[in-house]
Structure formats: C-alpha cells, structure tokens
Chain A
Amino acid sequence: MFDYSKYLRASKLPHIWCPGCGHGIVMKSILRAIDKTGWEKDDIVVVSGIGCASRLPGYVDFNTLHTAHGRALAFATGIKLAKPKMHVIVVSGDGDALAIGGNHFIHACRRNIDITTIVFNNGIYGMTGGQYSPTTPDGDRSSTSPLGNMEPEFDVVKIAEGAGATFTARGTSYHVPQLDNYIHKALMHKGFSVVDVIEACYTTHGRVNKKKYPSNIDMLKFQKDNAIPIEKAKKLSEKELEGKIITGIFCEKERTEFTEKYQKIIDSFSGGEK
C-alpha cells in the first residue's frame, strides 16, 4: 500500500535490528510521515547518536549523519542554525537522548529550535546488551540491574515541556496509525518537537524479564493494554495511572523559533553595517 523504496537505501537491508524490535516499525512510521510533508529529500537531514535506533540514518535516503553517543542534538543544532531551510530530524534512543544526551536535549527544548526529535524509548540500552536506562521501568531486571532496577524513570514528555519544547507527544509502536499522525504533526510544527515513542526490545529487555514480558508479541500487547489517551487519563487518579502509558499530543503551542529570531537580527544588519 505504501511504497517505501523512494526513501530507502534498499541495498542496506535487511537492517540490523533483532526480530520483533520496535525500531523498524517506528522507522516506517517516520517514512510515511515524511512522505506526507512533501519535503525534498535533499532538504532533509536525519541525525542520530549511538545505539540501535541510531543506526536508522544508514537505511534512509536523505542527508544522514550518525554522530557520537548523546550528541545528535548538538550536531543537529549546528546544521539547523547554519542552514535553516533544511528539515532536521533527530532519531535517538532513550539512553542516547536522555542520559548522556540529556544536557543537549533540555537546551534544544529551551531554544525552541525547529528540530523534530523522535525518542525510540524501549527503556533499555540494547546495543550494548541490555543495561537499564533512565526510562527502564522500576524493578525491571537488566544486565546492570540484576537485582531489579532501583532507579525511578524519566517522563520524557514532562522533561521536554518543562525545558521549553513547544510540541510534545507520546505514541507507541503498537498504535501505528496514531504514531504516523504524531510524527507528521511534529515534523510540520515550527519549533522544537519531541515524540516519545514507547516501544520494545525483547532481545535484551524482554528476555530477562520473562514473567513480565514472555515474548516480543506480549511486549506489543503490553503497549496495547496499557496505553491510555490523554483525554481519558485526565479522568483517572494517580493510582490508576501507575505503570500506564499516556498517549497523545500533550503540548502544541507557538513560541518564536530560534533560527527565525536569529535571521531577523541578521536581516536587520544586512541593510545596515556590513
């Protein structure tokens, strides 16, 4: 039904992601959302850090940049500021974006620079074999939390809003049509947009928490059974929302976009002192 070949570097397939990994689902969702924007491929830059999700740029036919762990947004800021006409999309895992990349994440939000960041949030460091990350659920086992994760997890949407992002949404790798919509809206939004995509890594996360996640299918079903749209969530108590995934568009507001503001300053001089 959808022809992906226009956007794929087909010679690079099959991709490296494990059977049942959510990343392929989210990548396809991004490609469908990009297709709806009608943007020129030469004008699109896909930037990533390091990790499983960060291998995505290698598979897609745009200007693609695979940077260092956590630094995608720093590179992306440089690209967007230097060439504002480019559409800059950052793909980053939960560890890449929120742990080592956390400082760049909050400052990119604060600047409200027109970049869309898609957080591939599977709550684990997959590439390095399954260590817990800032979004690993409480109590989950991992190769570095064999006694159960003791650290509380981040709410990516709340951090983004608190830091100044002007578009925030959360979707899951199960609710694919909604995800297409959130990503497309994020791409079209002028300002810093964040889509927190809850998805699953069975290979390094599911398998070591067999009771909770017996199979990759169950991990998808977990998303299906625990996702609650915002409107409904508003009517539920804190207790009832525990462990639930609240999906939807949380924030969509206008605030001066960083590169536009900068361009006004430049334009004010181009006429004047050279």
Chain B
Amino acid sequence: MTGSKFEFIQGNIACAKGAAYAGCSFFGGYPITPSTEIAEYMSEYLPKNGGKFIQMEDEIASLGSIIGAALTGAKTMTSTSGPGFSLMQELIGYACIAEVPVVIVDIMRGGPSTGLPTSPAQSDLLQAKWGTHGDHPTIALVPSSVEEMFTETVRAFNLAEYFRTPVLVLGDEIIGHMREKIRIPDPGEIQIINRTVPDNSGICPLPYASDSGKPACIPNFGKSRFHVTGLNHDITGFPTMDPAIVARENERILAKIYEQREIVDKWEEIECKDADILMLSVGSAARAAEEAVKTLRNKGIKAGLFRPLTLWPFPKDTFVKYAERAKYIIVPEMNLGQLKTVAERFTKRSKIIPVNLVNGEPISPEHIISVTNYLNI
C-alpha cells in the first residue's frame, strides 16, 4: 500500500486518532492515569478541527457532558481508567435507557481502588457488563494492539451510532502506553456509520418507536422537540409505569443488539479448529497467549487461541464449538478469574485452567506455557 501513512505512535494516541477518523467532534473527560494522553490529544485536535473539548470536574460530569453533547447530534467520547469508570456507572445506564450513542474508553489499571495507577491489569472486564444497576445492553470491545486501538475505536463509534447505545473500549496500561508502528487507514477506507434521524421538524411524537428489533430513530435536539428521560418510558419518550410497556421497552433495548449479532460480533481465531489446548484471552494478555500458541505448536502440541474483540456480547456459539473439542481451556488474564467465569458458563469446569496475575506485571508466554507442562496431552 504505497503512499499510505505509517506512524509509530502510542496506543492512547491511536485511540484518539481513531475517534477523529470516526468523526468524533466532542470530548469530555477528566485526567486519570493511564488514559490521560487521549484527553491531551483531543484537547488540541478538536478545537483545531471545529470540535469541542472540555475537561470536566469529575468523571460523572465527563459522561454527563458527552451524553448532553450527543443529544445535539455530535459524536462524543470520554476516556478514563478503573476508578473513573466506576464513577461513570450510573450514567452508563442512563445512556442505555435513553438510547444515546457515546463511546467510553477505559484504559484498565491495577485495582481495586487506587491500586496500581501505572501498571496494567484487566480488572474491569465484568464491571464493564455488570457495573451499573439494572438489565441493560453492553457492548465492550477489547483491542490488543496499537493498531486495534485505532480500528476498534472507529468500530465503537460505528456501533454506538447504529445501535444508539454506549459502547465501551477496554484497553489496558500496556496497550495504552506502548508504541507500535501502525498504518493509518485512508479517509473513506473504513466505512463510517452515522445515526439515522427522522427528518420531520416541530414536535416528534414517537421518538422511541422502532420497528421490531431495529434501534429507535431518535431525533437530535434542535431538530424536533421531544422528551428524554432516565425513567422507564414508552415510545413517546414520556415516563410510564405500565408493566407491559416497561417490560417490552426493557427487553427492546437489549434485543436491538442481541438480535443483530452479525453486526456487533467480532473475534480472532488462531488455529482453534484442531486445538487440544484452547486459549481464551483478550487484550494484552492475548498477545502472550498468541506467542505461547506458536511455541506449543512448534513443540508439536495442538494449541489455539480464541480472542474476542467484542467481549460483550460474548461470542459464545463459536467459542463453545472449539471448547467442546478441546481437552483443556486455558484462560490467561490479568485478574483473578473474570473471563474464566464466562468460560465456565459454556464448558465443563474441569477443563478450564485459569492463568491469573494481579501483581501489576504483564502475563508472559512462558508463564502460560508452564501451565501446560502438567497436562497429559
């Protein structure tokens, strides 16, 4: 690909460039290691390109500001880490029920609490799905390279705009801070999706109406007048406590995503088809797992890696297909067994071998391989 742009940049910067590529025009954030570089980049890029950046007084305000901005039609984003992600939980639920497209980047670090601010961890994998109260849809993407910080952020915006829901990008301190050479896609190379809005003006009587399964076609503020609330509401957008409507609407905001899995699912398979040892891993841990698979294959051991890029909703059908075949399922992750609980739901526990590390250091291929020494393959 002659003439295309190559850059040697940090994962956080690639993420911000991906957002810019996707058309992000509003960033509201709050400084927190290890994701601050994203805000720093946006604080210069956006005003120079007709966009808006604001550093709010805390992470709750950051998410509040980008939901507000999104309601005016802007593509909006915030970025944080574990502690800030915890503060944002209530409003993540708000964006789900009000069906507002926003992108939330969480560069994970050692937890709990202040934990290890400058060290990597995959501490928020389950929080990403269960962090806020109530049944709500979750789309969480997990990049494992600087290039994927770019492309997965673009995908996050596309999914948010299409499904009209918040989309999470779960990086970690390694992916966020390391530098790699990446090719910047040419403008137009990746298709950019924009939300569909009704073209009527004046009063929009049924902003939350949607034909079965499809996301609602909600206007932007200023185009036509309607009501947005975090209370359960019907298709008019106004609060309701009618049990039938509440149940239907609560199910709809999940169904709009889970009934169109072909749009949201994405994973990578490395030699899974004949794998006796199947590895399930995401993000930076998956880099070590991939290396371990190569080493084991060289030693004649049939190993494979199943790496979801869309962690939530979890691509269970494909995973189960390989997991049932495999003798063992190794789950390397920088926490004490979060992804493992997902594997346990879909395969026999006896086959699952967790490889956990919570000391702030990255998991190494050798560490993963050492576990296989005791397996009779």
Contacts and interface: CB of A to CB of B under 8 A. Distances in A.
State yes or no: do A and B come from one complex.
Answer: yes
B49 A75 contact: no
A76 interface: yes
Interface string B236-255: 00110000000000000000
Contacts of B66: 78
A226 interface: no
A87 B90 CA distance: 27
Given A42-B201, A266-B50, A77 B230 contact: no
A28 interface: no
30 contacts: A41-B225, A42-B201, A42-B222, A42-B223, A62-B225, A63-B221, A63-B225, A65-B68, A66-B228, A66-B230, A67-B67, A75-B67, A76-B68, A77-B56, A78-B28, A78-B68, A79-B68, A79-B72, A79-B221, A81-B54, A81-B69, A82-B25, A83-B72, A86-B222, A104-B61, A107-B56, A107-B61, A262-B47, A262-B52, A274-B49
Contacts of A61: 203, 225
B345 interface: no
Given A58-B239, A62-B225, A78 B65 contact: yes
B21 interface: no
A141 interface: no
Main secondary structure of the interface of A (DSSP, over half): helix
B58 interface: yes
B69 A67 contact: no
Contacts, number: 131
Given A77-B65, A104-B57, A68 B203 contact: no
B68 A63 contact: no
Contacts of A83: 72-73, 221-222
Interface string A48-84: 0000000001100111111110010011111101110
Interface of B: 25-26, 28, 47-50, 52, 54, 56-58, 60-74, 76, 90-91, 94, 201-203, 221-231, 238-239
Given A66-B228, A67-B94, A74 B50 contact: no
A78 B67 contact: yes
Contact of B238 (A43, A58, A67): A58
Interface residues of A, number: 37
Given A74-B56, A82-B52, A83-B72, A68 B26 contact: no
Main secondary structure of the interface of B (DSSP, over half): mixed
A128 interface: no
Contacts of B74: 82
Contacts of A183: none
A17 B25 CA distance: 39
Interface string A251-274: 000000000001001100110011
Nearest to A64: B227
A81 B94 CA distance: 20
Which 7 interchain pairs have the tightest Cβ spacing? A74-B64, A78-B68, A78-B65, A82-B69, A75-B68, A66-B229, A78-B69
B72 A71 contact: no
Interface string A73-112: 0111111011100100000000000000001100100000
A65 B201 CA distance: 18
Nearest to B238: A58
A43 B52 contact: no
Given A81-B26, A83-B73, A83-B222, 20 more contacts: A42-B201, A57-B227, A65-B227, A66-B230, A67-B94, A67-B230, A77-B65, A78-B26, A78-B64, A78-B66, A78-B69, A78-B70, A79-B69, A79-B71, A79-B221, A81-B69, A82-B76, A83-B221, A104-B57, A266-B52
Contacts of A220: none
B64 A75 contact: yes
Given A57-B227, A75-B65, A68 B57 contact: no
Contacts of B56: 74, 77, 107
A64 B69 contact: no
A43 B221 CA distance: 8
A45 interface: yes
Contact of B228 (A64, A76, A81): A64
Given A77-B54, A78-B28, A107-B56, A43 B47 contact: no
Contacts of B221: 45, 63, 65, 79, 83, 86
A83 B339 CA distance: 41
Given A63-B222, A274-B49, A77 B228 contact: no
B369 to A, nearest CB: 48
B72 A68 contact: no
Contacts of A65: 68, 71, 221, 227-229
